Amino acid sequence: MDDNVVTEEDLNANFLIPPDESIYGGRSRAQVCCESLIDFNPMVRVFVEKGDPSLIDGEFLDKFDIVVLSRASLKTKLLINENCRKRSKHIAFYTIDCKDSCGEIFVDLQKHSYVQKKPGGATEQQELTYSSLQEAISVPWNSLPKKTAKLYFAMRVLEDYELSEGRSPGETTLSDIDAVLARRKDMCDKMSLNESRIPTTLVERLLAAGKKEHPPVCAILGGILGQEVIKSISCKGDPVKNFFYFDVADGKGVIEDIPPPPPAK
């Protein structure tokens, strides 16, 4: 589901879109990508749903075991995650965002049982309980470990700014740097977090990215996400809980387990 018309930027980041205007011209990303996926996977049923993801209802979600959102606004992410959790069937929920040279994956498997392989070949049944996205972004920042990824905080600042300004993901640019840094200060003051935990250089990189997606970073994030989806379906292997970050600046992938906020007293 993606009704956005293919742009030249998409050609540079999405190998599923052939660089032939007679194929992609005036068509949606979903339509063009669907055709490529069918060519790659003729035994797999691939189809396109039209519409606005923010208007998805619970009955629509019942058709799926796993939901993955990309380039979605925070409002849409929260809505769909909440609807997934309300359904009687178990629906795994993922979000993935690539901001040029860095990216974030969020995972909510609700209650997830899986088989963990031990040294020597023995197996053991494990169970994890996940936070919702709302819970994972509502935890007080000053309660998190000092080594928490800077991208976790930076992404929250950017999302909060986009939400308050009614911006779609990627519409906030370097021209908004002063306003975004002011939002960073407000949020850090409120959360009793030193602003140095969200470096200005990192904020600038996220804003400079706009809607650009760096293909090698997309490949890394997509590979991790695909691996996690297989783990969820097969119930084998330790899944990510609950954020994964990658940044070209240090070439590292980091998993952050952000717990739900403590209950109000």
pLDDT in tens, 198-240: 999 999 999 999 888 888 899 999 999 999 999 999 999 999 9
Could you tell me the two tokens for 68? 């993955």
Q: How many other C-beta atoms are found inside a 10 Å radius of the C-beta of residue 176?
A: 17
State the DSSP code for 16: T
Q: Provide the 3-class DSSP secondary structure of residue 59.
A: helix
The ranges assigned to domains in the chain are 52-256
With a threshold of 0.85, does the pTM exceed it?
yes
Query: For 70-129, what is each residue's pLDDT tens digit?
Result: 989 999 999 999 999 999 999 999 999 999 899 999 999 999 999 998 888 889 999 999
Q: State how far the Cα of 117 lies from the Cα of 165, in Å rounded to an integer.
A: 47
* Whole-angstrom Cα Rg for the chain: 19
Amino acid code (one letter) for 177: I
Q: What are phi and psi of 67, to 5 degrees?
A: -125, 130
Please name every residue paired with 66 in a beta bridge, in sequence order, or none if there are none: 92
Q: Does CATH number 3.40.190.10 belong to domain 52-256?
A: no
Distance of CA 26 to the CA centre of its chain: 27
Could you tell me the two tokens for 262? 């403590």
